[in-house]
Amino acid sequence: MATAAAVLGACSSTGKNPIDPNDPNRLYAEAKEELANGSYDRAIKGFEKAEAAASGTLLGQQALLDLAYAQWRSGERTTAMATADRFLRLHPSSPAYDYALYLRGLINFNDNLGMFGFVAGQRLSERDQRASRDSHQSFKQLVEQFPESRYAADARVRMDYIVNMLADHEVQVARYYYRRGAYLAAANRAKQAITEYSQVPVAEDALVLMVLSYDRLGLTALRDDAQRVLKTNFPNRTLDLESNRTQRSWWHLW
């Protein structure tokens, strides 16, 4: 008994406190380490625990943002969006609100077709554009509400990228209609690309489509107006839709 008491006394005299498994700082630090190592599934679980343990604190807010980031990096875009939206809804006065908007834009931002898109020769502009529009809206809200944010400059570049992609999408749809003889639809979609998205690289192709479509429809006044604008802005462009297509990549920002 005396020996046992001495051992216990020695242990207690070290001054070490037992490790708290629910300590939010420890949980967060461990989750950050997993994130840095690329172990996204473990990081997600860690941030979930840290956010719950630190509820109502700035650490809890940070854990929630990091959770959304980890979910996005792991490919869980829908879940990441829901987490980012939850942050924006619960913490409208957070000092990290600008980053939350930026992260929301990144989650919906897609500049990578992936292997199958590359093999199929698919353009980004041929995909569903809803996510791109949502991404643009998040970046727009960021630069309007927080113009001096450290994320605003990159958001502006990404907005230009998205606008060019959306304009290209309209021209691709117009081209599809034209090839199938739906000339009115082709003219309208080409016109939409110009009126909604000014100063985009695909404006040249859009004008050509308008001229050709109006000509097929017998709308000579509209055809001549479109051709006049085409010649003024692109004097060397012919009306050969296929062989003389705009050579600049649609994603260029000029």
State pLDDT tens for residues 141-151.
999 999 999 99
Contact present, 142 and 155 (Cβ < 8 Å): yes
pTM for this model (two decimals): 0.74
The fraction of the chain above a pLDDT of 70, given in percent, is 80
Looking at residue 242, its pLDDT comes to 62
pLDDT over 50 (residue 44): yes
State pLDDT tens for residues 178-234.
999 999 999 999 999 999 887 888 899 999 999 999 999 999 999 999 999 999 988
Domains of the chain: 22-90 (1.25.40.10)
- Distances from the Cα of 201 to the Cαs of 21, 83, 167, 247, in angstroms? 57, 36, 9, 9
Structure tokens at 250: 């649609």
